[in-house]
A and B are shown apart, each in its own frame.
Chain A
């Protein structure tokens, strides 16, 4: 296998939220196959800066698959073609020599483009502010091990908590629905004793914030689950639905 490949990049460029935006083509000769996708973007940006051009804006932070900042819709897939990985964990060895790679930002009404490939994911924060928390009185911290938690539930909550809030679920959903994100956030709290008391109020509030942000509804295609870098299951969505329907019926307000 050759150590370098030549690729063409077809990148979405958009000056700001109100700009119409368009695709621009960039030649990338001699890309090392050991580079990560973001490193390849760094090389492109380095060149653009040297040429006195505007570098491509894209979100990134930890570059080890745990922060949820990197996004990018690469060749028609959220975070590229690999399963269970973020864009920073995608390497150039997965691309063919001479390939044209199309890179687009997440597309959703609730995620407006800030610039180029960077989108505003504040809508997720709005959902979290609405109910993605546990209310506690201050005082001495309680010994975490003092509360008995069933192992299966702890594991399930941990699986849900592995959501990094990257937005791949919204990006890949045909309806731009945030149900996988929201249900994971609900599960990580509702399954544990600390989150149980607000279980039903939480879902009502979060549901409202979800719809208000302009996300679509869930049609259970399962696209989110297959594209999620943390492989979070749509079983959480079923749990959310169950809690939401229960909450709507039992709520006294």
Chain B
């Protein structure tokens, strides 16, 4: 697997390393250029997260899932949104694939590892484990799509989206899987958000702290916002799940 990807890396290098390649395209092969791809796709996905969270929070209206269902119907009925959906999937795939290739290339930059390394004293756990948290999130993303997106788009699910969500999250293991995944999402965003601005060169002595702070706030909002829904549904706070399932 790793060998296959490093081969892919070499192919990538061959395509982009041609002598007379124009600089603006060649840029995407250099280490900064590939980080630029990570930053741009990452920020794009952050915008998507905001939109997704707005949708999820419709469940707080406690109207038998009406607002939430209307929202999901709007998201599937609109041709423009369907087109954006493709860009979104492409964005996720590029972000994941580029991230994987960068992680592998970065491992190659240190073939012999230190016997003793105290990295916790010079950097945060979040920043050093973006590859790990990213991989977990990708697995989660696949599970998440299978459960809700594919089931409704292609699987011909008859129940409403709100009912699907309420049914899924009244299961203990499923709710806990989501809560854990959202905590990991928070970890990933805590570093990723501010890192994107640094990579884009939009940071300096003055803004570094601002971006870091904004990143942590954004990560917390996403983590708490997304994780709150399975918590609310599982424990039936505000009667959220019984209201939807009509119990």
Q: From residue A18, how far is it (CB to closest CB) to chain B in Å? A: 13
A:194-253 near B, CB below 8 Å: 204, 207-208, 210-211, 214-223, 226-227, 233-235, 237-249, 251, 253
Q: From residue A33, how far is it (CB to closest CB) to chain B in Å? A: 22
- List the A residue with the shortest CB-CB distance to B199: A241
Task: Determine whether A73 belongs to the interface, using a CB cutoff of 8 Å to chain B.
Answer: yes
Given contacts A216-B105, A216-B110, A235-B208, contact A77 B121 (CB under 8 A): yes
Q: From residue A123, how far is it (CB to closest CB) to chain B in Å? A: 11
B191 cross-chain contacts in A, Cβ below 8 A? 220-221
Q: From residue B119, how far is it (CB to closest CB) to chain A in Å? A: 6
A221 cross-chain contacts in B, Cβ below 8 A? 123-124, 127-128, 191
A:122-146 near B, CB below 8 Å: none
**Number of residues in A with C-beta < 8 Å to the partner?**
54
Q: From residue B99, how far is it (CB to closest CB) to chain A in Å? A: 10
Task: Determine whether A192 belongs to the interface, using a CB cutoff of 8 Å to chain B.
Answer: no
Q: From residue A234, how far is it (CB to closest CB) to chain B in Å? A: 7
The A interface, classified by DSSP as helix, strand, loop or mixed, is: mixed
The B interface, classified by DSSP as helix, strand, loop or mixed, is: helix
Task: Determine whether A193 belongs to the interface, using a CB cutoff of 8 Å to chain B.
Answer: no
21 contacts between A and B (CB under 8 A): A73-B114, A77-B121, A102-B116, A104-B114, A104-B116, A107-B113, A109-B108, A174-B123, A177-B109, A216-B105, A216-B106, A216-B110, A217-B102, A219-B106, A222-B124, A234-B208, A235-B203, A238-B201, A242-B200, A248-B23, A251-B23
A-B complex: 4 closest residue pairs judged by Cβ atoms:
A242-B201, A216-B109, A217-B31, A76-B118
Residues of chain B touching chain A, judged by Cβ–Cβ distance below 8 Å, are 22-24, 26-27, 30-36, 102, 105-106, 108-119, 121-124, 127-128, 130, 191, 194-195, 198-205, 208
Residues of chain A touching chain B, judged by Cβ–Cβ distance below 8 Å, are 12, 23, 73, 75-77, 81, 102, 104, 107-110, 172, 174-177, 179, 204, 207-208, 210-211, 214-223, 226-227, 233-235, 237-249, 251, 253
